[in-house]
Structure 1
Amino acid sequence: MSAGIDFLVLSKGNFRMVVSDGELSPIKLAVETLQRDFKSVMGFCPPIVSTSTDGEKELIELIIINESIVDSSMNKSELRPLDGFESHRLYAETSSRRIYLTGKDMRGTIYAIYTFSEKFLDVPPLWFFSSWEPQKKKQIEVPCNLDYFYKSPQVRYRAWFPNDTELFTPWRQLTVQNNEVWLETMLRLKLNTVEMEQTITYPDYKLEESVSLLRKYGLILSSTHHTACNNNLVTWKEYWYKVHGIAPPKLLLSDEKSLCEFWQYSIETVCRCEQENLWTIAFRGIGDQPYWAAFEDAPVSEEERAEVINRMLHIQLAMIKEKTGNPNPFVRVTFYDELSDLLAKGYLKPPVGNNILWTFVAARRDHYPYDDIVTFDTATQINLGYYMNLQFTSTGAHLAAAEGPWKMEFNFRYANSRCPLALSVVNAGNLREFVMELAANASMMWDMATYDTDRFLYDFCVCYFGKEHAEEVMQLYRDYYYAYWEQKSADFPGLERQFIFHDLRYARVFKQIGEGFECFSSNPLKDIIRERVPGRSFRIEGNNQVDSLLSGMERTFDRFDKVAQRCAQLMPQLPEQYRCFFLDNLSAPCHYMAALSHSLYHFLRAYKYTEKRTKNLDLSIEYLEKAQEALYSTQHGVFTDWYAGDKLHGKFNIPAKLKLLHKLRDKYCEKQM
């Protein structure tokens, strides 16, 4: 014990947790989770009771209070002041032998509960994803002068968007814990919103079953850029068949009445289900496409197209206000793809207001502030949202993190400099590979004023790898991210690593060149289908793609090799409880990217040089197998089947790339015989 500081000492049988019978179910769930944490760390479950008893002074009580519904029987004289929404406080009252975990509202109370677990039981927010092993304790010392006070977060809505989840989805289906633990993790990180695709079902005004998990944990629902009022025109035909029993009318701008009826059902469904919801207004086509691809009477000029969107957004907003009875609801509109272009040109004029969140999106393929937010008029009376991909479907990071927390910080600081942020969305569909970056984003969105990536990363490394090696691991993280090939010089002022060659770009090079391997071209790579900006798919500088790639891979595999070697040297020096997460989150990705870069290098040499083609294909196969081995080394425990989805229809699909390489090698072996 520190001199001059007294403690309330928690040990088996001398304390209990108090939560009112009338408390909200997500808070009760968090209390049960805290009970589980005590079991993991101290070996027993403390009792949970519904009322405090002043007569039993020998017992210490952990009092859980949601200030928004304080029980009338509660002694309010010991309550200390809180801030606004989601603020929370942990403090001790020695005279009554009580430790208070209080919140301004439901989520503030949940955050207080998990903060106690982190601070005193040493259960880290990423306990599940870090394969955390509890350090056993016989007693917990809580200082009598304890008073941790957390003001309201700066960013009101702090969201994850699990998208492109070919690994995550089949893994979630294996167990109940797999299916739900990510939501607990979000709350431990003090996030509050999950972004989803359409969630409306027919014909009985219900939301998708997946939304029930958000209600269970006390999280907010929001919707993607093409999901108006929680629905999408993908379900247009289903709505008319199932709700009205009639053939669906054609999608026509002139039939505004049918569109409004479709949206009205969606708004009514959300309201009936009493789901806490951040509304999205949008007007796009069927799925992720411009509306003029779906409506035959759509105008041709950009100005006229934008005017249609303007009208539809205002109609949806008016309908939401009328149905909710709220004249000023929080509503977002997201500027993605064609909407981003129309806004940058001044044609798109979305609704404005204090609770209207104009949500800008980091540029596609590579992630930096796009033209629309750069040219945004900061005098506009709105709040801002910002969306950034940490994982990306087509050309970005997928099986290994690449963007990094420094680039994340730059993006969100730039957005906040244009107008105060009220919404943050990060897309990291499979989650596991990106948990460090996701944790950095969560920390920044709570308090942007004090957040600093270097300080965050040091604290992260202390938490998950121990103080002795924290600075060394921190440097390894930095060197890992900076090992990626920068295939194009940055052109956004002040932004480092604006353009980098993510692993899905590697996958596309293998596929495109493999399909035309017989006919050499110095510029064989083509933009992906429907690429709206020429050259954006790969962004390789120079007039010879193959030579640029060869040079780039030679530089980058050398950098990754060196970081991977340092990881291997450090691994046995780490205490055993830290090694698993070190492998999963840093060492294995280093080895994966090193081997992948070697493999692509030899594949390109086989493509360009015929005299050693078979040898280079053999080397390409050998290194790609090493890349796969590095990834698969992280399949353990609850993550044993993590890469099952990549073997089927994965965005990268290493087995398919190996099959391609083997086919080419066998073909050229036969020719040489």
Structure 2
Amino acid sequence: MLLFIVRSAWIFAGMNPLVLSEGNFHIVVSDGELSPIKLAVKTLQRDFKSVMGFCPSIVSIPTGREAGITELIIVNESTADSNVNKSELRPLDGFESHRLYTDASAKRIYLIGKDMRGTIYAIYTFSEKFLNVPPLWFFSSWKPQKKEQIEIPCNLDYFYKSPQVRYRAWFPNDTELFTPWRQRTVQNNEAWLETMLRLKLNTVEMEQTVTYSDYKLEESVSLLHKYGLILSSTHHTACNNNLVAWKEYWRKVRGITPPKLLLSDEKSLREFWQYSIETVCRCEQENLWTIAFRGIGDQPYWAAFEDAPIGEKERAEVINRMLRTQLEMIKERTGNPNPFVRVTFYDELSDLLAKGYLKPPVGDNILWTFVAARRDHYPNDDIVSFDTATRVKLGYYMNFQFTSTGAHLAAAEGPWKMEFNFRYVNSRRPLALSVVNAGNLREFVMELSANASMMWDMTAYDTDEFLYDFCVQYFGENHAEEVMQLYRDYYHAYWEQKNAEFPGLERQFIFHDLRYARVFKQIGERFEHFSPNPLKDIVRERVPGRSFRIEGSNQVDSLLSGMERTFGKFDKVAQRCTELMPRLLEQYRCFFRDNLSAPCHYMAALSHSLYHFLWAYKYIERRTEHLNLSIEYLEKAQEMLYSTQHGVFTDWYVGDSLHGKFNIPAKLKQLYKLRDRYGKTEM
């Protein structure tokens, strides 16, 4: 929550604002301050350089008002070594709260935080409010508007209370674009972490991070420590480790042949977990513990343990016992009787919980983390049936993208759907953890920004208000309402292949681009044998029909009708984007193209392409003509995406052509072969 306090006018009667210009101010930060705060101060220096053309000096001790120089004083209340009298500072709230205020008579501007991250947030808030550096400066290809001086009101007092949601996380998953791009430069590798802090997020979710045999965490965790972010783990990663590493532990740490995975050998399981817990503690990485009991990788434990029971109730009782064991081990090693610990109800755990068999630990700092339904993203049965009297806090995990059937190369869920999901969960019990899975990140930065805003202050958050402010910041006030409407119409252009079932939720079921990809692949592999219902569920689909969720008795006809409706909608929004582009100021056009216009054109062309592909599949006459049109539109879809490759994002789509979840080049190759085959038969 932001409280903007205007001090009594009589105190400042006749006083001018504090003016910052080259040579008349410096930044004050204690030598004993934590390294993530010092890194943020260096970043603030860089922001000044971008906007004003110079780097202000950094000193460790205030010079005093007699020096006649204005001072930006950075204070972390939790640091023992301080350069100011903390008793004289204005009050703060709880964890991560922060404040920006002026003491005009002393020519001081205070950027203070309750703790390390609160202080970092204060620094980046100053940069956003007064240097106009937006949180998404990197992802929006922001160009600074040069300033010779900056005026700070003499009665400035921005006060941000503690966030409502304690842990606010990103989970970059399925990153075939993001990973190779990150490897190119140091900036690419780290900029997203700075972006998280500018958005006031605090946690990164990762897969297993424990290594062997020297009690070390993966090198990637060092970046979280560098930036001051919290580490958390996925739903199948118990105590920061996974049974994928079972054999490696016994060989590298113990130097023995790995024992078999057996429920009856709980002693070996405890030893495996003990090493993982010890590793996290020795590394002193701030960590949100995960307790879990699943199999090798992302599978139920009964797929890996030969002595696993068969009945659901008995299977749940094993999980209950293992979760309690891990929790007690964490308490014992950390010496904390009430640590923050999460358990995530994914897939089979969600089912067992909904049936009342799974009984995870409870407590004031236990976070029961629910997961949006598979394939489509809405509150699942387990949170709907959750007993609100249970003494736990809640977490919620939602995909903006999805590995198998979701949005991937273009955003699809939208911030309104995000708000509905998180508000529903928070209505059941207070929310303490938010995790959003956004894969390659770049495609979803608007939705991610909305989530970050909501998780700080759910009471005040409203998606329409957020989106208007977002459009003002990134596209200018003159066209903010117009861009806002384009965003809304873009999301509503997606085909809703099944009517909503969850009360009050719009767009519960939509046809994401990875569903398009699966239709191309499955039908393309059996193109010569027409069937009105050619689509099959993905391997190991646990709910029949969930992979596509196409209503009607004829999949092909439903798809043809759906594509015709949806490409008409996307065409109209894409045309409006084209018309608006030249009316935007030059500084806003790049991000408008990258985040809205290009994805809209991509989805329009992709829908046309699939429509003509299905026409060629169903009808023999003019088959080659329609395959040619399918190719033409898919090439256009690719062209629209590739138009966003520029500057630091050059070659962004290299990963899609190598091992991408969509892999447009592979789909085009498939279409070329079909066109060549049927073109010859029609000659």
Q: Same fold, TM exceeding 0.5?
A: yes
Q: State the match for 2:649 in structure 1.
A: 639
Matched-pair contact (CA < 8 Å) for 2:27–2:73 = yes
Matches within 5 A, 1:20-31: 20-31=30-41
- Does 2:172 align with 1:162? yes
Look up the equivalent residue of 1:89 and give its one-letter code.
Answer: R
Matched-pair contact (CA < 8 Å) for 1:78–1:93 = no
Structure 2's unaligned 5+ residue stretches are 1-11
Q: State the match for 2:221 in structure 1.
A: 211
Of 179, 182, 185, the match for 2:192: 182
- Does 2:83 align with 1:88? no
Matches within 5 A, 1:603-622: 603-622=613-632
Q: Distance in 2 between matches of 1:195 and 1:551?
A: 40
Matched-pair contact (CA < 8 Å) for 2:537–2:544 = yes
1:312 aligns to what SS in structure 2? Answer: helix
2:338 aligns to what SS in structure 1? Answer: coil
Q: State the match for 1:342 in structure 2.
A: 352
Look up the equivalent residue of 2:391 and give its one-letter code.
Answer: Q
Structure 1's unaligned 5+ residue stretches are none
Q: State the match for 1:445 in structure 2.
A: 455
Judged with a 3 Å threshold, the aligned counterparts in structure 2 of structure 1 residues 30 and 73 are, in CA distance, closer, same or farther, namely: closer
Of 300, 310, 313, the match for 2:323: 313
2:158 aligns to what SS in structure 1? Answer: strand
Query: What displacement does 1:5 show?
Result: 6.5
How many residue pairs are counted as aligned between the two chains? 672
Q: Distance in 1 between matches of 2:16 and 2:58?
A: 25
Of 127, 132, 156, the match for 1:122: 132
Matches within 5 A, 1:62-73: 62-71=72-81, 73=83
Q: Distance in 1 between matches of 2:556 and 2:83?
A: 75
Deviations 1:576-615 (A, max 9, x none): 0000000000000000000000000000000000011000
Query: What displacement does 1:3 show?
Result: 10
- Does 2:205 align with 1:195? yes
Q: State the match for 2:152 in structure 1.
A: 142
Matched-pair contact (CA < 8 Å) for 1:57–1:96 = no
Q: Distance in 2 between matches of 1:90 and 1:55?
A: 19
Q: Distance in 2 between matches of 1:290 and 1:28?
A: 44
Matches within 5 A, 1:472-551: 472-551=482-561
Matches within 5 A, 1:513-592: 513-592=523-602
Q: Distance in 2 between matches of 1:55 and 1:306?
A: 67
Q: State the match for 1:324 in structure 2.
A: 334
- Does 2:634 align with 1:624? yes
Matched-pair contact (CA < 8 Å) for 1:57–1:97 = no
Judged with a 3 Å threshold, the aligned counterparts in structure 2 of structure 1 residues 521 and 72 are, in CA distance, closer, same or farther, namely: closer
Q: State the match for 1:110 in structure 2.
A: 120
Query: What displacement does 1:431 show?
Result: 0.2
2:92 aligns to what SS in structure 1? Answer: coil
Q: Distance in 2 between matches of 1:221 and 1:631?
A: 33
Query: What displacement does 1:489 show?
Result: 0.2
Deviations 1:457-494 (A, max 9, x none): 00000000000000000000000000000000000000
Q: Distance in 2 between matches of 1:326 and 1:400?
A: 44
Q: Distance in 1 between matches of 2:81 and 2:24?
A: 24
Percent identity over the alignment is: 86
Query: What displacement does 1:74 show?
Result: 1.7
Deviations 1:626-656 (A, max 9, x none): 0000000000000011000001010000000
Query: What displacement does 1:78 show?
Result: 3.5
Q: State the match for 1:60 in structure 2.
A: 70
2:67 aligns to what SS in structure 1? Answer: coil
Deviations 1:340-389 (A, max 9, x none): 00000000000000000000000000000000000000000000000000
Query: What displacement does 1:62 show?
Result: 0.2
Matches within 5 A, 1:404-483: 404-483=414-493
- Per the normalisation by structure 1, the TM-score is 0.99
Q: Distance in 2 between matches of 1:72 and 1:274?
A: 23
Query: What displacement does 1:83 show?
Result: 0.2
Matched-pair contact (CA < 8 Å) for 2:235–2:292 = yes
2:257 aligns to what SS in structure 1? Answer: coil
Matched-pair contact (CA < 8 Å) for 1:42–1:138 = yes
Q: Distance in 2 between matches of 1:420 and 1:401?
A: 28
Look up the equivalent residue of 1:209 and give its one-letter code.
Answer: E
- Per the normalisation by structure 2, the TM-score is 0.98
Query: What displacement does 1:259 show?
Result: 0.2
Judged with a 3 Å threshold, the aligned counterparts in structure 2 of structure 1 residues 253 and 452 are, in CA distance, closer, same or farther, namely: same
Matched-pair contact (CA < 8 Å) for 2:98–2:113 = yes
Judged with a 3 Å threshold, the aligned counterparts in structure 2 of structure 1 residues 4 and 538 are, in CA distance, closer, same or farther, namely: farther
Matched-pair contact (CA < 8 Å) for 2:519–2:535 = yes
Judged with a 3 Å threshold, the aligned counterparts in structure 2 of structure 1 residues 72 and 113 are, in CA distance, closer, same or farther, namely: closer
Deviations 1:218-263 (A, max 9, x none): 0000000000000000000000000011110000000000000000
Deviations 1:273-295 (A, max 9, x none): 00100000000000000000000
1:543 aligns to what SS in structure 2? Answer: coil
Q: State the match for 2:682 in structure 1.
A: 672
Look up the equivalent residue of 1:389 and give its one-letter code.
Answer: N
Query: What displacement does 1:6 show?
Result: 2.6
Judged with a 3 Å threshold, the aligned counterparts in structure 2 of structure 1 residues 633 and 537 are, in CA distance, closer, same or farther, namely: same
Q: State the match for 1:290 in structure 2.
A: 300
Q: Distance in 2 between matches of 1:173 and 1:404?
A: 29
Q: Distance in 1 between matches of 2:463 and 2:148?
A: 35
Matched-pair contact (CA < 8 Å) for 2:65–2:106 = no
Q: State the match for 1:602 in structure 2.
A: 612
Deviations 1:373-410 (A, max 9, x none): 00000000000000000010000000000000000000
1:527 aligns to what SS in structure 2? Answer: coil
Q: Distance in 1 between matches of 2:82 and 2:346?
A: 49
Matched-pair contact (CA < 8 Å) for 1:5–1:143 = no
Matched-pair contact (CA < 8 Å) for 1:331–1:355 = yes
2:237 aligns to what SS in structure 1? Answer: coil
Matched-pair contact (CA < 8 Å) for 2:130–2:150 = yes
CA RMSD of aligned residues (A): 1.0
Query: What displacement does 1:55 show?
Result: 5.6
Query: What displacement does 1:71 show?
Result: 3.2
Q: State the match for 1:255 in structure 2.
A: 265
Q: Distance in 1 between matches of 2:65 and 2:582?
A: 53
Q: State the match for 2:61 in structure 1.
A: 51
Of 337, 350, 370, the match for 1:360: 370
Q: Distance in 2 between matches of 1:101 and 1:55?
A: 17
Look up the equivalent residue of 2:281 and give its one-letter code.
Answer: C
Q: Distance in 1 between matches of 2:238 and 2:28?
A: 42
Matched-pair contact (CA < 8 Å) for 1:355–1:383 = yes
Q: Distance in 1 between matches of 2:83 and 2:655?
A: 53
Query: What displacement does 1:56 show?
Result: 4.2
Q: Distance in 2 between matches of 1:646 and 1:474?
A: 29
1:568 aligns to what SS in structure 2? Answer: helix
Query: What displacement does 1:70 show?
Result: 4.7
Judged with a 3 Å threshold, the aligned counterparts in structure 2 of structure 1 residues 135 and 3 are, in CA distance, closer, same or farther, namely: farther
1:68 aligns to what SS in structure 2? Answer: coil
Which portions of structure 1, spanning 4 or more consecutive aligned residues, are displaced by more than 2 angstroms? Answer: 2-6, 70-73, 75-78
2:94 aligns to what SS in structure 1? Answer: coil
Q: Distance in 2 between matches of 1:225 and 1:458?
A: 35
Deviations 1:105-143 (A, max 9, x none): 000000000000000000000000000000000000000
2:434 aligns to what SS in structure 1? Answer: strand
Q: Distance in 2 between matches of 1:462 and 1:312?
A: 51
Look up the equivalent residue of 1:191 and give its one-letter code.
Answer: L
